[in-house]
Amino acid sequence: MTLEPETLRRSPQLAALAILREAAETAIVALCAAHPTIEHALRNDPLPSLDRLADHVVDHAMLMLDALDRYRLLLHDLDRLHRGLAEEDVIF
């Protein structure tokens, strides 16, 4: 998503969300590269291990990315609604 200056003026938090999203995605890729076993079923391992902890972080990062996307889409919908209402209020 490209952040335009006008969009950031209306919703400046989108810049921070974009950075957070990129950092989370980078962390997920790095953790998966460092711990290739997290792609397999680690849930059956009764002992906590570095791989299990990495898997836990990846799971939570994925949930965070989903929440960030939902928040961003809600902001987008609210912005569109606001712009639509503002255009209807124009009197010629």
In a domain, 74, yes or no: yes
Structural domain total, the chain: 1
In a domain, 69, yes or no: yes
Burial bucket for residue 64 (CB in 10 Å: 0-12, 13-18, 19+): middle
More confident residue, 48 or 5: 5
What length does the chain have?
Answer: 92
- Average pLDDT, integer, range 55-72: 94
Judge whether residue 48 has pLDDT over 70.
no
According to the model, what pLDDT value does residue 33 have? Answer: 92
In a domain, 37, yes or no: yes
According to the model, what pLDDT value does residue 92 have? Answer: 46
**How far apart are alpha carbons 58 and 36 in whole angstroms?**
12
pTM over 0.95: no
- The torsion of the CA quartet 86, 89, 91, 92, rounded to 10 degrees, works out to 50
In a domain, 8, yes or no: no
Under the banding of pLDDT at 50, 70 and 90, the label for residue 28 is: very high
Judge whether residue 86 has pLDDT over 80.
no
Range of the domain at 30: 13-88
